[in-house]
Amino acid sequence: MKKTVTVFRGDGIGPEITDAVLRVLDAAGAELDYEVYNVGAKEYDLHGALISDEAFASMERNKVLLKSPITTPVGKGFRSLNVFLRKKYDLYANIRPAKSNHAVKTPFEDVDIVIFRENTEDLYVGVEEQIDADTVYATKIITRKASQRICRDAFEYARAHGRRKVTCVHKANILKMSDGLFRDVFYQVRADYPEIEADDKIVDNVSMQMVMHPQQFDVMVMPNLYGDMLSDLASGLIGGLGLLPSSNLGEEYAMFEAVHGSAPDIAGKGIANPTAFLWSACMMLEYLGQMECAARIRRSVDKVLEEKLYNTPDIGGKATTKEFVDEIIRKL
């Protein structure tokens, strides 16, 4: 029986890569039906709402969302729709795997890092207060409950996937109460996983270590803001944001999205790289138990990347999005 999933087409390159990914999923024989909605800035301009009531109802009915990039205004306008969805549906675990592909050359080899980013609190709650014309306070929120569940998910993932180590990233030397709580909870949870190595590192040191010796990192777990920053850094190690997928998981709902933004500068040019979004869709297939379909897609993408004849410009090629996807489908 086919599983129905909700699809948000997004802004910028969002509609282009959404159509590309759905083509590949259908060609691979994914047991899926789709309820597709336009969302984001353009939808807001046309109808006064970023997400329609029908789109929300679909998400709440199907409980699985494949979401393409959505533009967020900088410094004004509405807050990030991604942040809103994560809070609304308690999608507390943001999982971002960054793995080297030998077909995409970078100065770094054998990178295989999985970042677990707590998704619902920290500075991302957006609690700000205008004290006076020249002063703004922002509130950082760290709770025991949220820290426990993201740390436990990281260790559970490590155990299930044969990973050797989990690293906690923090700034507890300065933020002794908030990041201190996160670090303390990490080691409390670790006691239930004695077979897995555990360590902790300060976030600024991690930033340096990731670009000097990234192979030392395996699974990493951290509060929200650090996760946002370091996952983008991790994408640079493997060839760019066009290669970094993600899942956002809660107890009831799941959302799958590429880490990159809507790239309005190349929207409509037909050169967007759909790989990160396609691999996010593979994470969705695996979440739904469709392992072989996901594996077939991953193998096909790897072959196309390795041959280099149909790669998009961001990874050193000259192919269009359509040419890239057509070749993936031929490999299928």
pLDDT at 73: 55
My answer on whether 151 and 247 are in the same domain is: no
Domain count, the chain: 2
CATH of the domain at 156: 3.40.718.10
pLDDT at 74: 46
My answer on whether 127 and 207 are in the same domain is: yes
Catalytic residue among 34, 124, 157, 310: 124
Per the annotation, the verdict on 171 as an active-site residue is yes
pLDDT at 87: 87
My answer on whether 158 and 203 are in the same domain is: yes
In a domain, 248, yes or no: yes
My answer on whether 203 and 267 are in the same domain is: no
pLDDT at 76: 44
My answer on whether 264 and 311 are in the same domain is: yes
Q: Which residues span the domain enclosing 263?
A: 1-94+241-332
My answer on whether 231 and 258 are in the same domain is: no
pLDDT at 81: 78
pLDDT at 72: 62
Final residue of a domain: which of 221, 238, 255? 238
Q: Tell me how far apart the alpha carbons of residues 92 and 320 are, in angstroms, rounded to a whole number.
A: 35
My answer on whether 115 and 33 are in the same domain is: no
Per the annotation, the verdict on 232 as an active-site residue is yes
In a domain, 102, yes or no: no
Per the annotation, the verdict on 228 as an active-site residue is yes
My answer on whether 225 and 138 are in the same domain is: yes
pLDDT at 41: 78
My answer on whether 299 and 284 are in the same domain is: yes
Show the low-confidence residues of the chain (pLDDT under 50). Answer: 74-78
Catalytic residue among 19, 90, 112, 232: 232
Final residue of a domain: which of 173, 208, 238? 238
Confidence (pTM): 0.91
Q: Which helix (H) or strand (E) holds 71?
A: none
Nearest to 157 by CA among 291, 287, 51, 32: 287
Final residue of a domain: which of 238, 269, 285? 238
In a domain, 100, yes or no: no
Per the annotation, the verdict on 204 as an active-site residue is yes
Catalytic residue among 26, 192, 199, 204: 204
My answer on whether 208 and 259 are in the same domain is: no
In a domain, 101, yes or no: no
My answer on whether 111 and 234 are in the same domain is: yes
Q: Record the tokens describing residue 248, joined without a space.
A: 């956002």
Q: Is 109 left (phi over 0), alpha (psi -120 to 50) or beta?
A: beta
Assess contact for 209 and 199: CB atoms under 8 A: no
Catalytic residue among 228, 310, 314, 326: 228
Query: 3-state SS of 113-149?
Result: EEEEEECCCHHHHCCEEEEECCEEEECCCCCHHHHHH
